[in-house]
Amino acid sequence: MNESFKENFDDFEVTPWKVEGSVDYARLIKKFGTQEITNEILEKIESFTGELHPLLKHKFFFSHRDLDWILNKYDNNEKFYLYTGRGPSGMVHLGHLMPWFLTKHLQDKFDSNLLFQITDDEKFLFGNQTLDEIKKNVYENILDIIAIGFKKSKTKIIINSRHIKHLYSTSLEIAKRITFSTAKSVFGFTNSTNIGMIGFPPLQAVPCFLPSIIEGKPTPVLIPAAIDQDPYWRLTRDIAEKIGFYKPAQIHSKFLPSLQTIGKMSSSSPETAIFTTDETKIVEEKISNAFTGGQPTISLQKKLGGNPSVCSVFSYLKYLFDTPAESNERELKCRSGNLLCGECKHDLSDDSTAFISMFQKRREKAKDIVSDFMYSEES
Ligand code: TRP
């Protein structure tokens, strides 16, 4: 099969608005033109942070742009800002938390300032909810962001519609340098796309440059995000130097799989995801119905072993709760038929319910400190 033939037969699609099918991450790196995170880069990170974060060790973060560059800058005493974000389309699930976990780790280890953008405008323009509905999501999502444990003194949340006056002039500089033809080819806009959507991308680019404006000198920015957001930064990087800024560096994650079938967790089908606001009983129910890599019967499982590489329960345990050593042992036991799906589901259920109930307490506490995290209190 030649390359071009294969190209047409990809059975997955990744855009900022849609992730479908079983993603081949090695192919995605090629398609998007990003770089693989090499062991050399991991060693460099480790030299600054001590032990590697499990999400790096497990290669859940697998791709980057200019990560080596930003680490060299740091090595030369040029500190970087972190920038990440949330499109407030609904409640937050475990998949959304993954880039935030790494962001918190990086903030702690590199003592970085963090800008956290909430694109309420994007979710209004691209979805079917009213502005009022989205406003409620924004508030709920902020509780999740604060519950992650970011440093209050070093974290600022930007809500696009509320903080627009701090974003607008920079967004103009960006917008003026991006043609419709480029935006069309990067995002797939068509003649029937509403013009709000077409005009939105510069706003997601602004926080890449705000740190330089705040600090009054070119300031490197690292964006931890799921890889579907890369098209935004591709555009941003094209124009950055033209307006006197560094290109933003990025570190990209995979997607946490759906609990039900192949694909990523999705807010639009709640049974496929564990939400931070789910009650214990619901979490347990979702996990007991989860898709596994197990055999249809216990005796076949004992005879043939299971397949962790397609198992959602195994992935959740690996990326969220097991230590690397525990995960390896789980994999060996499963493959050799010495572990039944019920046991893994039980472990995941225990770990998830404990995590969610701890997280819900932190969400409650967050209610008192929301305003401390806002970019600016002026409206
Ligand atoms: N567009 C993102 C979403 O729909 C939200 C977002 C804005 C974001 N800025 C970001 C995500 C920076 C990651 C990094 O979820």
CB of 100 closer than 8 Å to CB of 90: no
| Virtual torsion, Cα 147, 157, 159, 103, nearest 10 deg | -70
Residue identified by tokens 């999400």 is 55
311 and 187 housed in the same domain: no
Which structure tokens are listed for 362? 């932190």
- Distance between CA 265 and CA 94 in Å, rounded? 8
Amino acid 376: pLDDT = 85
pLDDT computed for residue 7 by the predictor: 42
Do 231 and 357 belong to one domain? no
Tokens of 69: 């560059």
From 192, 224, 255, give the residue that closes a domain.
255
% residues pLDDT > 90 (the chain): 89
Instruction: Give the pocket of ligand 1 (CB within 6 Å).
Output: 16, 83-87, 117, 119, 122, 204, 223, 225, 229
Residue 301 domain-assigned (yes or no): yes
* Last residue within a domain, chosen from 195, 220, 255: 255
Instruction: State the distance from the centre of ligand 1 to the C-alpha of 84, rounded, in angstroms.
Output: 6
Ligand 1, atom 7, residue with closest C-alpha: 85
62, 192: one domain: yes
Residue 277 lies in a domain: yes
pLDDT at 337: 95
* Atom number, ligand 1, closest to the C-alpha of residue 96: 15
User: How many Å from the N-terminal Cα to the C-terminal Cα in the chain?
Assistant: 58
Is 372 within a domain? no
Looking at the structure, tell me whether residues 145 and 280 fall in a common domain.
no
Residue nearest to atom 2 of ligand 1 (CA): 87
Any domain includes 373: no
Residue 88 included in any domain: yes
Whether the Cβ atoms of residue 158 and residue 116 lie closer than 8 Å to each other: yes
215 and 250 co-located in one domain:
yes
CA 230–ligand 1 middle distance (angstroms):
10
Q: What CATH number is associated with residue 335?
A: 1.10.240.10
Distance of CA 228 to the CA centre of its chain: 9
What pLDDT does residue 262 have? Answer: 58
Please check whether residue 320 lies inside any domain of the structure: yes
Amino acid at 21: G
Residues facing 82 on adjacent strands: 114, 222
CA of 126 to the centre of ligand 1 (A): 13
Q: Using only the alpha carbons of the chain, give its radius of gyration.
A: 21
In angstroms, the CA 18 to CA 224 distance is 19
- What local confidence, expressed as pLDDT, does residue 3 receive? 40
pLDDT tens for the chain, residues 1 to 379: 334 334 444 688 888 888 888 889 999 999 999 999 999 999 999 999 999 999 999 999 999 999 999 999 999 999 999 999 999 999 999 999 999 999 999 999 999 999 999 999 999 999 999 999 999 999 999 999 999 999 999 999 999 999 999 999 999 999 999 999 999 999 999 999 999 999 999 999 999 999 999 999 999 999 999 999 999 999 999 999 999 999 999 999 999 988 986 556 666 677 789 999 999 999 999 999 999 999 999 999 999 999 999 999 999 999 999 998 999 999 999 999 999 999 999 999 999 999 999 999 999 999 999 999 999 865 4
Q: Kindly report the protein residue whose alpha carbon is nearest to atom 15 of ligand 1.
A: 87
The one-letter amino acid at 256: L
| Cα–Cα distance, 78 to 80 (Å, whole number) | 7
Please write down the HEC assignment for all residues of the chain. CCHHHHHHCCCEEEECCEEEECCCHHHHHHHHCCEECCHHHHHHHHHHHCCCCHHHHCCCEEEEECHHHHHHHHHCCCCCEEEEEECCCCCCEHHHHHHHHHHHHHHHHHCCCEEEEECHHHHHHHCCCCHHHHHHHHHHHHHHHHHCCCCHHHEEEEECCCCHHHHHHHHHHHHCCCCHHHHHHHHCCCCCCCHHHHHCHHHHHHHHHHHHHHHCCCCCEEEEEEHHHHHHHHHHHHHHHHHCCCCCEEEEECCCECCCCCCECCCCCHHHCCECCCCHHHHHHHHHCCCCCCCCCHHHHHHHCCCHHHCHHHHHHHHHHCCHHHHHHHHHHHHCCCCCHHHHHHHHHHHHHHHHHHHHHHHHHHCCCHHHHECCCCC
- Tokens standing for residue 242: 């033209």
Domain that holds residue 304: 270-366
Torsion of CA 305, 309, 314, 315, to 10 degrees: 180
* Mutation to probe ligand 1, out of 91, 119, 234 (largest number of atoms < 8 A from CB): 119
Q: What is the pLDDT of residues 178-219, one digit of tens each?
A: 999 999 999 999 999 999 999 999 999 999 999 999 999 999
Rounded Cα distance, 295 and 87, in Å: 38
pLDDT in tens, 31-84: 999 999 999 999 999 999 999 999 999 999 999 999 999 999 999 999 999 999
Of 229, 233, 234, which is best to mutate to test ligand 1, by the most ligand atoms within 8 angstroms of its C-beta? 229
Q: Which tokens belong to 348?
A: 């995941």
Using the mean position of ligand 1's atoms as its centre, give its distance from the Cα of residue 85 in Å.
4
Neighbouring C-alpha atoms within 13 Å toward the C-beta of 93: 23
Residue type, 170: T
> How far apart are alpha carbons 283 and 348 in whole angstroms?
10
Q: Which residues contact 7 (CB under 8 A, 6 or more apart)?
A: none
Q: Which two tokens stand for residue 100?
A: 């935030």
Whole-number Å distance between alpha carbons of 222 and 61: 13
Same domain, 55 and 186: yes
Q: For position 20, what pLDDT does the model report?
A: 83
Domain boundary among 201, 231, 255: 255
Residue 171 in any domain: the answer is: yes
The residues near 240 (Cβ < 8 Å, ≥ 6 apart) are 208, 209, 246, 247, 248
Asked whether residue 264 is assigned to any structural domain, the reply reads no
Q: How far is the CA of 175 from the centre of ligand 1 (A)?
A: 18
Q: Looking at the 3D structure of the chain, how many domains does it have? A: 2
Short-list 131, 139, 204, 113, CA closest to 167: 204
Give the model's pLDDT for residue 143.
98
At 45, which CATH number? 3.40.50.620
The reported pLDDT for the residue numbered 18 is 84
